[in-house]
Amino acid sequence: MELCRKFGLDVDKVIDQLLEYKKSQMKQVSLPEGTIRLLCQVSREVFMKEDMLLEVEAPLNIFGDIHGQYDDLLRHFDMLGYPPDICCLFMGDYVDRLVTL
């Protein structure tokens, strides 16, 4: 991805580091602050280029807010498969943050 090269970010390496958590006895995932900042910067650039309304096609796995529960995310991926082999839509807090009229 050209944005990753632009910012000097190796996303595959970051993903490998995050998946190492599963194989180890670590209690938490740890990434350097600079890497997290780069991920945020690249993510922002990507999301700003996306349309406000996404058109998605089935099959699609829809996730609500996982509240930062990385173990739960990995457990779902273990059951369903990992991207890019599956398509995922993460709704975040959208479901429980709507204003009720």
- Decide if 63 contacts 88 (C-beta within 8 A): yes
Answer positive or negative: Cα dihedral of 46, 62, 66, 26.
Answer: negative
- DSSP-derived letter for residue 88 is E
pLDDT tens sequence across 77-100: 999 999 999 999 988 776 556 666
Rounded distance between C-alpha atoms, residue 66 and residue 91, angstroms: 9
The pLDDT tens digits of the residues spanning 7-65 come to 788 888 998 988 888 877 777 788 899 999 999 999 898 889 999 888 989 999 999 88
